[in-house]
């Protein structure tokens, strides 16, 4: 059987001429017009991805929300009709063969329930809140690094290093080893998308390091998150060393590029919407953080880092938005399309930092709802507030047309964001 064909696909494919180009260069720059077209004309559409694998793209808000919470859609790649069990598709390059498969984004209940409960006893909102002063310290350190220059690449100098050092600190990776993580993460972000060469090596090294670190910490527990994972127990159950390593890895991996892009895309949106940015700056100057809080959610809705939710596979025949989905078919929920759906959001293509009615899907929905959302919010709020306060005349140093987007499948983010400002001592 052709692994890319779905028996029900032909009926759902609209006239080819009318279909906008997906996954090309223009699409990477601004996918929203294509998503608007899909939402309107083919809300559940069988699509061949650049990798050659086919999947159903779900683009309407109501369908997206329902799909994310549908227990008949499995996260386990073994349910993919077109792929062998060994060929997991988790969006994590180099993961295959590295024995990191038993992580949250790749499993269903009851295993998911058990692991998520265990990690939740260690990765608590309270631990995240207590981490705020450290995030502020790191943020100031990176701004100090370029403040006197009057210019910076906000991706390379700021959005990229901040989340990696933050999550390393939170996990308890010793300071002297954190530069290795920055290098491994840099390799993964630059070459993400396939389990090739350098990426696979980086993942392997990271895994070997984490296994060793967990082993070492077991004999000398501290109050960091890795020690918390080792200690975590629920009704007498614990994480195995392998599970703890996979958990530390997914926390690093899921929490890294996403946060880079939340900061990068967020600053980009603010710089292109001067009235909104000025209102936020005024609020911050008054010590009012309400607009910062609703604003970070709005930036996530308007141009969030996760364009598509990670893979799901139909375990039985089901119907989504009136479209029949065959057993074994992959389904991709397009969060970026759902969050601009006019059926759910007033003026969805307008940035409104004060938007109140904003149940966006940027962190997903249902049992796989982002575990790191409190940390991501904390980092984004501190990063944006610090930039706008310390560099009040921050501006883009290039024509917006010159900006290049990475064009990955799951993530949406800028390669560089050159900015200029009055130098500060
Ligand atoms: C899951 C988005 C930051 C850890 C998810 C999902 C989304 C998401 C959409 C659900 C995926 C799906 O259902 O297929 C984001 C965004 C972030 C962010 C937009 C930043 C702006 C973080 C951080 C961490 C993290 C900082 C950890 C330190 C996780 C984990 C899961 C997850 C572990 C899997 C949860 C599960 O399957 O039960 N995230 N995330 N994320 N996220 Fe995040």
Helix residue spans in 123-221 (DSSP H): 125-130, 132-147, 154, 161-171, 178-191, 197-218
Cα(98)–Cα(201) distance, integer angstroms: 10
CATH of range 9-420; options 1.10.630.10, 2.60.120.330, 3.40.50.720, 3.40.50.1970: 1.10.630.10
Q: Whose CA is nearest to atom 35 of ligand 1?
A: 368
Looking at residue 322, what is its pLDDT? 95
Query: Which ligand 1 atom lies nearest to the CA of residue 312?
Result: 14
Looking at residue 10, what is its pLDDT? 47
Query: Which ligand 1 atom lies nearest to the CA of residue 365?
Result: 13
pLDDT tens-digit series, residues 328-356: 999 999 999 999 999 999 999 999 999 99
Query: Which ligand 1 atom lies nearest to the CA of residue 309?
Result: 14
Other Cβ atoms within 10 Å of 272 Cβ, number = 13
Distance 61 CA to ligand 1 centre (A): 19
Looking at residue 8, what is its pLDDT? 53
Distance 17 CA to ligand 1 centre (A): 36
Cα(354)–Cα(344) distance, integer angstroms: 17
Looking at residue 90, what is its pLDDT? 46
pLDDT tens-digit series, residues 34-77: 999 999 999 999 999 988 899 999 999 999 999 999 999 999 98
Distance 370 CA to ligand 1 centre (A): 4
Looking at residue 82, what is its pLDDT? 75
Looking at residue 103, what is its pLDDT? 84
Looking at residue 184, what is its pLDDT? 86
Which protein residues are within 6 Å of ligand 1, measured from CB?
A: 68, 104-105, 116, 167, 250-251, 254-255, 258-259, 262, 304-306, 309-310, 362-364, 368, 370-372, 375-376
Helix, strand, coil percent content, the chain, rounded in steps of 5: 50, 10, 40
Q: Is 14 in contact with 42 (CB distance < 8 Å)?
A: yes
Distance 159 CA to ligand 1 centre (A): 17
Distance 304 CA to ligand 1 centre (A): 12
Distance 309 CA to ligand 1 centre (A): 9
Q: Whose CA is nearest to atom 15 of ligand 1?
A: 363
Identify the burial level of 8 via C-beta atoms within 10 angstroms of its C-beta, where 0-12 means exposed, 13-18 middle and 19 or more buried: middle
Looking at residue 196, what is its pLDDT? 54
Quote the pTM value. Answer: 0.91
Cα(404)–Cα(251) distance, integer angstroms: 27
Q: Whose CA is nearest to atom 5 of ligand 1?
A: 370
Looking at residue 126, what is its pLDDT? 94
Among candidates 371, 383, 390, 413, which has minimal Cα distance to 166? 383
Distance 372 CA to ligand 1 centre (A): 6
CA-based torsion, 371, 375, 377, 380: positive or negative: negative
Residue the block writes with tokens 């604003």 = 295
Domain ranges of the chain: 9-420
Query: Ligand 1 test: best mutation among 248, 258, 262, 309, most atoms within 8 Å of CB?
Result: 258
Query: Which ligand 1 atom lies nearest to the CA of residue 107?
Result: 37
Query: Which ligand 1 atom lies nearest to the CA of residue 75?
Result: 14
Query: Ligand 1 test: best mutation among 260, 262, 363, 370, most atoms within 8 Å of CB?
Result: 370
Query: Which ligand 1 atom lies nearest to the CA of residue 112?
Result: 38
Q: Whose CA is nearest to atom 32 of ligand 1?
A: 370
Distance 255 CA to ligand 1 centre (A): 6
The percentage of residues in the chain with a pLDDT greater than 90, rounded to a whole number, is 69
Long-range contact pairs involving 353-356 (C-beta distance under 8 Å, separation at least 24): 353/276, 353/279, 353/280, 353/291, 353/294, 353/295, 353/298, 353/299, 354/279, 354/291, 354/294, 354/295, 354/298, 355/294, 355/297, 355/298, 355/301, 356/294
Query: Ligand 1 test: best mutation among 163, 362, 363, 382, most atoms within 8 Å of CB?
Result: 363
Q: Can you read off the two tokens belonging to residue 146?
A: 């370029």
Low-confidence ranges of the chain (pLDDT < 50): 1-4, 7, 9-11, 17, 84-98, 193-195
Q: Can you read off the two tokens belonging to residue 424?
A: 């500060």
Q: Is 378 in contact with 98 (CB distance < 8 Å)?
A: no
Other Cβ atoms within 10 Å of 185 Cβ, number = 23
Distance 367 CA to ligand 1 centre (A): 11
Q: Whose CA is nearest to atom 43 of ligand 1?
A: 370
Q: Whose CA is nearest to atom 23 of ligand 1?
A: 255
Identify the burial level of 190 via C-beta atoms within 10 angstroms of its C-beta, where 0-12 means exposed, 13-18 middle and 19 or more buried: exposed
């Amino acid at each position: 059987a052709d692994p890319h064909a779905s028996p029900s696909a032909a009926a759902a494919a609209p006239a080819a001429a009318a279909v906008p180009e997906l996954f090309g260069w223009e699409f990477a720059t601004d996918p929203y017009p294509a998503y608007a077209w899909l939402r309107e004309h083919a809300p559940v559409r069988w699509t061949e991805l650049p990798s050659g694998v086919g999947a159903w793209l779900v683009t309407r808000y109501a369908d997206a929300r329902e799909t994310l919470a549908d227990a008949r859609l499995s996260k386990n790649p073994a349910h993919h009709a077109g792929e062998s069990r060994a060929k997991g598709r988790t969006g994590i390059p180099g993961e295959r063969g590295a024995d990191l498969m038993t992580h949250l984004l790749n499993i269903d209940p009851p295993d998911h329930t058990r692991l998520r409960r265990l990690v939740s006893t260690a990765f608590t909102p309270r631990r995240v809140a207590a981490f705020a002063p450290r995030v502020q310290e790191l943020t100031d350190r990176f701004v100090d690094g370029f403040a006197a220059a009057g210019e910076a690449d906000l991706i390379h100098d700021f959005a990229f290093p901040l989340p990696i050092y933050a999550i390393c600190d939170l996990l308890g990776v010793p300071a002297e080893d954190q530069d290795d993580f920055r290098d491994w993460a840099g390799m993964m972000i630059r070459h993400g998308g396939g389990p090739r060469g350098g990426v696979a090596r980086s993942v392997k090294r990271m895994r070997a390091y984490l296994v060793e670190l967990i082993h070492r910490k077991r004999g000398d527990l501290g109050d960091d998150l890795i020690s918390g994972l080792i200690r975590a127990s629920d009704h007498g159950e614990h994480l195995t060393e392998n599970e703890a390593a996979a958990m530390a890895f997914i926390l690093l991996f899921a929490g890294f590029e996403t946060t880079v892009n939340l900061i990068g895309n967020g600053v980009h949106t603010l710089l292109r919407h001067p009235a909104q940015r000025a209102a936020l700056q005024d609020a911050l100057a008054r010590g009012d953080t309400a607009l910062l809080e609703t604003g970070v959610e709005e930036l996530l809705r308007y141009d969030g880092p996760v364009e598509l939710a990670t893979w799901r596979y139909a375990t039985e025949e089901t119907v989504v938005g009136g479209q029949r989905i065959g057993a074994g078919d992959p389904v991709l929920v397009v969060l970026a399309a759902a969050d601009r759906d006019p059926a759910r959001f007033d003026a969805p293509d307008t940035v409104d930092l004060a938007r109140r009615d904003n149940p966006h899907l940027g962190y997903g929905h249902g049992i796989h709802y982002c575990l790191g959302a409190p940390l991501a919010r904390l980092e984004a709020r501190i990063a944006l507030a610090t930039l706008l306060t310390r560099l009040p005349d921050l501006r883009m140093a290039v024509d917006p047309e010159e900006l290049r987007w990475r064009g990955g499948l799951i993530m949406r983010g800028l390669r560089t964001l050159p900015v200029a400002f009055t130098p500060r001592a």
